[in-house]
Structure 1
Amino acid sequence: MNVTGWQRDALLAVAEVVVLAVILVMALLGNGLVLVVLLRRRRHHNPLHLFMLNLCLADLVVALFQVLPQLVWDAKGRFPGPDFLCRLVKYLQVLGMFASSYMIVAMTVDRHYAICCPLQAHRSGATQRWNTFILLAWGLSLLLSLPQVFIFSRSEVAPGVYECWGNFAESWGLKAYVTWMTLAVFILPVVIITVCQPGPAASSAFCCPLPKAPTARGGEVSAAMSKTVRMTLVIVLVYSLCWAPFFSVQLWAAWDPDPPQNGAVFTLLMLLASLNSCTNPWIYSAFSSIQLYGKLINILCLVCLIQTLYFILYM
């Protein structure tokens, strides 16, 4: 019975490592490529490009400081580091979650403002406006991640066994912590995003009254805005699909006295949230002129060429 349980846990650990490795590679490739392209076009940045650049940075934080440490952690079986590293990793893991989530919120609020109040948006100065939203998203992420430093530490979970563990002074501390994280990272952003999504109802209820003014490029601007809105909707939909299972499982584990924490489905669902950091650059590529698939194929061909030359020269 013990042997069977150990084999099942070992297979599950291997599955976790494989899933995390795939997510890590996809997130680094996709976000890295989009980031390079956007930086090369920095002279022609529009608000959407700037938001996507910061969203790529947030997703890279998730990949490097959430997925990668968790991958090493799962591969080794326990946290391989001192107390300072434990607190730092836990802080950066949540920072990526907050930043990725809040950058999507900032982008949605900005698009709502640009569509519903274009004249006010133009008068207030576009550059200052979207920089403010981005700075607010990063500032809130840095601030709201601070409790991680005080909650988690390198603790002795068994005689002679140390782990990076969360410590709560009260028995209800874990429930309060998970509920707060669900509200701050998922539910509240989804509510804001839902309210700010442009549409007939939102336009009549929340938008500023606009005087009718003819524009020479009205059709072109309308088409570009429509594409931007569709892209934002897809990003938000994928965001919700990735995060909803994760937080549902987290709430279940915190509030249920006997949750199936060792089940394969239960465990792998908790890894699904990181998949959101892989999807954003590909969604952006599909709705823009960035041919991400072609660039990825070029990189893979270059890698194959280097491997072939290495094999010919040294084998």
Structure 2
Amino acid sequence: MNGTYSNFSTYSNVSDPYNSTNSRTIQMYSQIFFMIVHQSIIMTVSLLGNLFLLFVIFRGNRVMKRRVSPVQLLILHTCVADLLFVFLSLGTEILTLMAFPYYPGSNFTCKFMRYAQMFPMYASPFLLVAISADRYQAICRPLAHFRSSRYRRPNWMAAIAWGLALLLSAPQFFVWEKKNGKYGRCSTVYGANRNIIKNVYVIMFNTLAWLLPSIFAAFFYCNNAEFRFCDQNFEILDCVCKAVRLSSNKSVRAIDSQKKNGKLSTEATENYIEELRKKSKGFRQQMSEFDRKRVQTVRLTITIVACNFFLWMPFCIINVIQALWPDVLNPTFINNVSVLGNLNSCLNPWIYILFNRSHVKKALCQSRGTSEPTTKRSLILPQPPTITTTITTVPKATATITIAIIDPTSSTKKCTSGPTQPIAPPSDKLQR
């Protein structure tokens, strides 16, 4: 690939295909035809998939009367990056291959086209890192997540990803150039130290566009990772399961501390009240739904990141090998492997659709006139029981302590009575 996006760079050193041998020319044009066909297929599938994803998100949210969630917002940014890859990277490359061996545009058009081809290739992995960071913040640091704005942080992360993609694509203006006038080619120029600069640029691209984003995404997801069972589902990330439970318990304790006005002084009573609340049916249902949605969202983004890593891995490794040892690999093998990297833009929308089948059904099956209003299930933690302590004083300096526990999820009251025991008579100060 010459260190940049160009599936055709394998034949860039051929001065004129018409002066080459017949076998070489036939092989060259057969490979060009193969690349045009497979890129056209990928372009069509990716375009349809991403447009369908846009329809599912907006139509589904409209049917369920919901706003776009922060995760959906970042998924939409990724969808836009895939669409840009379809038009700017695959589309322009198909046109270039069809015009081979000459490039019909000007020198500036050559530079700008290569810049536009590189831009979505940086933007897509950077946006995946933004999704990973957002999920890490929401699950492993929930208090900081709720203190910040719901949409400000995802928008800032997406803006940083797009900005870095624009910046890191700039070297394309310096390494591409149209040579030999009107009937020249759009090819790479690396200056006097061609091999050194080329190798550095290739390694830099593969590191920044593939390796580092994968490492950052793995860090956000796999901190203290263990293979374990969580809620009867085999989960890769122990951090997610732990964080969901810990954040829920912290939220419950925070509510307890606000509701208790110092009336309960014994630790045994506090533990007893919390156990009653945790055993309530409404509490368990809401916590189970909350944890399920969190883990499902994380599994979705993990799958997208993993597909991005494994689909681009063969291409990036071969790209480095081709730069360091140009004659080691067969051109046909290189072009066949490049197909895997292009498949990434096709899979992203279908992965989201696979993990959100109920959302897809609502978007497809419910029309505006027949759909019933869907109420969004609240994920707010249930209110703790109301605790009422009544002290009844009797003439013989004894008292009965009655604690009434009112469960919000139940229509009945549970009362516990402590044993009757002598207590000290109230002081004069208390009586006054």
Q: TM-score range by the shorter chain?
A: 0.7 to 0.9
Q: Which among 204, 211, 217 is matched to residue 187 of structure 1? A: 211
SS in 2 for 1:165: strand
Structure 1 partner of 2:81: 58
Q: Which amino acid aligns with 1:107?
A: I
For residues 16-42 of structure 1, what are the alpha-carbon distances to aligned partners after superposition, in whole Å with 9 as ceiling and x for unaligned?
111100110011111112123334447
Q: Which among 272, 297, 300 is matched to residue 228 of structure 1? A: 297
Structure 2 partner of 1:92: 116
For residues 81-114 of structure 1, what are the alpha-carbon distances to aligned partners after superposition, in whole Å with 9 as ceiling and x for unaligned?
2112211111111101011110111101111111
- What is the distance in 1 between the residues matched to 2:197 and 2:126? 25
Contact 1:198 1:229 in 2 (8 A): no
SS in 1 for 2:122: helix
For residues 227-260 of structure 1, what are the alpha-carbon distances to aligned partners after superposition, in whole Å with 9 as ceiling and x for unaligned?
1111112111110121111111110111014233
Q: Which amino acid aligns with 1:122?
A: F
1:218 aligned onto 2:287 = yes
Structure 1 partner of 2:340: 272
CA spacing shift, 1:290–1:16, aligned 2, 3 Å: farther
SS in 2 for 1:218: helix
What stretches of structure 1 move > 6 A for 4+ residues in a row? 206-209
- Structure 2 residues without counterparts, runs of 5 or longer: 1-19, 226-237, 256-282, 365-432
1:36 aligned onto 2:55 = yes
SS in 1 for 2:179: strand
SS in 1 for 2:185: strand
- What is the distance in 1 between the residues matched to 2:326 and 2:251? 62
Post-superposition shift, 1:3? 2.1
Post-superposition shift, 1:196? 0.8
Higher percent of residues as helix? 1
For residues 16-72 of structure 1, what are the alpha-carbon distances to aligned partners after superposition, in whole Å with 9 as ceiling and x for unaligned?
111100110011111112123334447611011101110000000100000111111
Contact 2:85 2:121 in 1 (8 A): yes
1:203 aligned onto 2:239 = yes
SS in 2 for 1:212: helix
Report the TM-score when normalising by structure 2: 0.62
Q: Which has the higher contact order (CA 8 A, sep 6+)?
A: 1
- What is the distance in 2 between the residues matched to 1:119 and 1:160? 62
Answer with 145-154 or 70-79: which moved more: 70-79
- What is the distance in 2 between the residues matched to 1:290 and 1:92? 34
Post-superposition shift, 1:290? 4.5
Structure 2 partner of 1:305: none
Answer with 35-44 or 192-201: which moved more: 35-44
- What is the distance in 2 between the residues matched to 1:230 and 1:54? 19
Q: Which amino acid aligns with 2:345?
A: S
SS in 1 for 2:178: strand
Structure 1 partner of 2:21: 2
Structure 2 partner of 1:178: 202
- What is the distance in 2 between the residues matched to 1:154 and 1:36? 41
Answer with 68-77 or 40-49: which moved more: 40-49
Matches within 5 A, 1:1-315: 2-40=21-59, 41=61, 44-78=67-101, 79-156=103-180, 161-169=183-191, 170-171=193-194, 172-198=196-222, 200-201=224-225, 203=239, 212-214=250-252, 216=283, 217-260=286-329, 262=331, 264-288=332-356, 289-291=358-360
Same amino acid, percent of matched pairs: 29
State the superposition RMSD in angstroms: 2.6
Contact 1:115 1:198 in 2 (8 A): no
Contact 2:32 2:97 in 1 (8 A): yes
- What is the distance in 2 between the residues matched to 1:198 and 1:221? 21
SS in 2 for 1:236: helix
CA spacing shift, 1:257–1:269, aligned 2, 3 Å: closer
- What is the distance in 1 between the residues matched to 2:91 and 2:51? 15
Contact 1:112 1:198 in 2 (8 A): no
CA spacing shift, 1:28–1:220, aligned 2, 3 Å: same
Structure 1 partner of 2:229: none
For residues 163-199 of structure 1, what are the alpha-carbon distances to aligned partners after superposition, in whole Å with 9 as ceiling and x for unaligned?
1112112221110110100111011101101111156
Post-superposition shift, 1:4? 2.4
Post-superposition shift, 1:207? 7.3
Contact 2:104 2:182 in 1 (8 A): no
- What is the distance in 2 between the residues matched to 1:198 and 1:33? 31
Q: Which amino acid aligns with 1:284?
A: Y
Contact 1:253 1:261 in 2 (8 A): no
- Structure 1 residues without counterparts, runs of 5 or longer: 296-315
Q: Which amino acid aligns with 2:343?
A: L
